[in-house]
Structure formats: C-alpha cells, structure tokens
Structure 1
Amino acid sequence: MDSYLWLKYLHIVSAMVIFGTGLGTAFQMWMAHRSQNAAVISAVAHNVVWADWLFTTPAVIVQPISGVILAWMVGYGWSDRWLTASVALYVLAGVCWLPVVWLQIRMRDLATEAALSRHPLPPTYQRCARWWFVLGWPAFGAVLVIIHLMIQRPIL
C-alpha cells in the first residue's frame, strides 16, 4: 500500500475514533448522570476522562495533520469550499470539545467528593452537566457534517 492509502486509512480511522469514542463516552456519561448516583458518576467519569486522553486526544491531533497532508497530496486547495467548511466545523467541534473535557474532569471530581462524603451531588455538578450536554450537540453535529463533507466533497 502506498503512502497516500496509508495516510487515508489513518485519517479515516482517526475520524472513526473521534466520533465513536465521543458517542460511546457521551452515552456512558449521560446514563451515569441520569442515575444521580455520585459513586456511579465518579467511576464512569473517571473512565470517560481516561478515554478522552488515550483515544480522542491522539485522534484529534492526527486528524488535521493527516487531512492537510492528504489535501496537499491530492491537490485540493483552500478555495475548495467543502474543505474550508470542514476546517471551520472542526474548529467549532474543538471549541465545544475543550470545555467538555474540563467539564468532565470537574464532574468527576465533584461526584467523587459527593460519593466520599455521602452527600448529594452539589448544584455546581448539575450546572456542569447541563453545559456538558449543551456543548455536546454542536460538537457531534459538526463531526457528522465533516464526515459527510469528506465523503461527498460537494461543490458548495
């Protein structure tokens, strides 16, 4: 397999990891949150934070690097609107994802404190959970549209 195909494979796999890990961890976090059980939330959030560092973060780094190299290899330019739209949506997803990572860490810590002290989840946890939920929608939506743009490469 030549370097272009290897790079394309890496680019596709990293996109799958971003979406798949994001969807899986969001589902787990949401289900734990719905339980309102601080010990459950603490354990799940601990794993979600680790998954973001181990899987999502490397994929988030690989994605734009491989994408830029692939675009250059194929001869796409920044005048191709599908490409600029993809980059803009990637930035939007990142602007949403970075606070989500911080919120997950904060939610984990608040849930851990509540579980250890046998107190209910504090209002700060509930505010973090609401922001986490709200920021997840545009991030996932952006990733879905990016995947569509990568596949279709429409003339916009």
Structure 2
Amino acid sequence: MDYGTLKTLHVLSSTLLFGTGLGSAFYLWRAARHGDAAQFAFVARQVVLADWLFTATAVVFQPLSGWLLARTAGHPLDAGWLQASYGLYLLAGACWLPVVWLQYRLRDLARDAARLQQPLPARWHRCLRLWFVLGWPAFGAVALIFWLMVNRPGFGA
C-alpha cells in the first residue's frame, strides 16, 4: 500500500476514533440529562453498538497503521514524539475500556428502571459520574496524540 493511501486511512480511522467517541458521548450525556430511563436505555444501546462497530475497529487499526506510517516514512520508532504518543494511547485505552463497561452497566440499569417504571437508581448516577470523569483524560490523550502527529516535536530519543 502506498504512503498516501496509508496516511489517508490512518487519518480517517483516527477521525472515527475521535469523532465517534465525542459524538457518542454527547448523545449519551444529553440522554442522561433528560432523566428518562427508557430514552437513556435506547440511546445507550446505540452508543454501545457504535463503540463496537466504529471505535473498536479504529482502536485496533490505529496502532497498526501508525506503525506502518512511521516505518514507511523512516521515523525512528523510538522518537520522543512517538514514545509520547504510545503512552498517551495506552492512557486513552485505559480510560476507554472501563467507559465501555460503564456504558453497558448504565444501559442495563436504565433498561431495568424503565421496565419497572422506577426512577434511575443511585448506582446509575454513580456510574454516570465515573463515565463522565474517565472521558476527560481519554479526550485529552487523543487530542495530544493529534498534536504530536501533526507537529512531531524533537524531544526525547
């Protein structure tokens, strides 16, 4: 595969990773603010599906395409900006995995509350707060990775 095609695919998959994550988070947060358990359960079901269809595939493709890009372009894999991006990617992943689990939990708690026609339980509110808090370091890490990819600062190895 030529460098231009690989770079285009890398950028498109990063757009899916960043865009789907932000878009899904926005819709899930808006549904949570509404407070309707049935509505939230529906939105959460869609967000979980989007995470597996789009975000998960991008999460797998990004390191592979990034490694191929760096290798093809002749960047040393131990360059400081690449080393920093590896760590940030791991940080984003360490936040994303519990976020996915929390989305399942939030969906199930909302579904059960809607079925029983009860308000959303305290556990749902705790899970939502944790989901929200974990999103910020993941967002920041991905934003910094974009900055590193664009600027390739000359620090470290």
Provide the TM-score with structure 1 as the length reference: 0.97
Cα-to-partner distance string for 1:50-75 (whole Å, 9 max, x where unaligned)? 00011111011000000011111111
| Correspondence for 2:101 | 102
Structure 1 unaligned regions, length at least 5: none
RMSD of the TM alignment (CA)?
Answer: 0.9
1:28 partnered with 2:31: no
1:75 corresponding residue in structure 2: 74
For residue 7 of structure 2, what is the aligned residue in structure 1? 8
1:151 aligns to 2:150 (yes or no): yes
Aligned position for 2:111? 112
Distance 1:70 1:117 in 2: 52
Superposed CA deviations along residues 42-98 of structure 1, whole A, max 9, x for unmatched, are 011010000001111101100000001111111112331100001100000000000
Amino acid at match of 1:119: Q
Aligned AA (2:49): W
Name the residue aligned to 2:16. 17
In structure 2, distance between residues paired with 1:26 and 1:96: 13
Q: Which runs of 5+ in 2 are unaligned?
A: none
CA distance in structure 2 between the partners assigned to 1:42 and 1:79 by the alignment: 44
Kept after mapping to 1: 8 A contact 2:89/2:142: yes
Aligned residues: 155
Alignment map for 1:46-65 (pairs within 5 Å): 46-65=45-64
Question: Are the counterparts in 1 of residues 70 and 77 from structure 2 also a CA contact under 8 Å?
Answer: no
Q: Is the 8 A contact 2:71 2:77 kept in 1?
A: no
1:30 maps to amino acid: W
Shift of 1:35: 1.0
% identity of equivalent residues: 55
Name the CA distance, whole Å, in 2 between partners of 1:42 and 1:59.
25
Counterpart AA for 2:56 = T
Task: Tell me which moved more, 31-40 or 94-103.
Answer: 31-40
* Residue 4 of structure 1: how far off its partner (Å): 1.2
CA contact (8 A) 2:38 2:110 kept: yes
Q: Which runs of 4+ in 1 moved over 2 A?
A: none
User: What secondary structure sits across from 1:119 in the alignment?
Assistant: coil
Q: Does 1:93 align with 2:88?
A: no
Letter matched to residue 59 of structure 1: A
Q: State the TM-score, normalized to the length of structure 2.
A: 0.96
